[in-house]
Amino acid sequence: YENPALPEDSMDLVFMSNTYHLIDDRPAYLGVIAKALHTGGHLVVIDFEPDCACSDVKEPPEPASRIAKDTAIAEAQAAGFEVAREETFLPNQWFLVLRKK
């Protein structure tokens, strides 16, 4: 939850699903991921919408711990990412494809 322990300049893609809300210091964590990615590499992040009903999800995170998509975007931009695209087909989650600048 504190450090992804990825070697610098070693990845083309990092995928995170339903874990973003568990990270304690997200800006620092994203900074480590940015260093691990090659220039132009991608970070894919999927996590729960703060207001999702999540009735079809077995163990959704508590509403108070969910992170808004706009917060995730701002944190990613501060760490050197830009939004490459956003997918909208998931009913309970946001889905961002971020590119390292």
- pLDDT tens for the chain, residues 1 to 101: 678 889 999 999 999 999 999 998 999 999 999 999 999 999 999 999 999 888 888 888 888 999 999 999 999 999 999 999 999 999 999 999 999 98
Q: In what order do the strands lie in the sheet with 93-100?
A: 11-17, 37-48, 93-100, 81-87
CB 88 within 8 A of CB 75: no
> Does the global pTM surpass 0.75?
yes
- Measured CA to CA, the distance from residue 47 to residue 101 in angstroms comes to 22
3-class SS at 47? strand
DSSP string, 71-96: HHHHHHHHTTEEEEEEE---SSEEEE
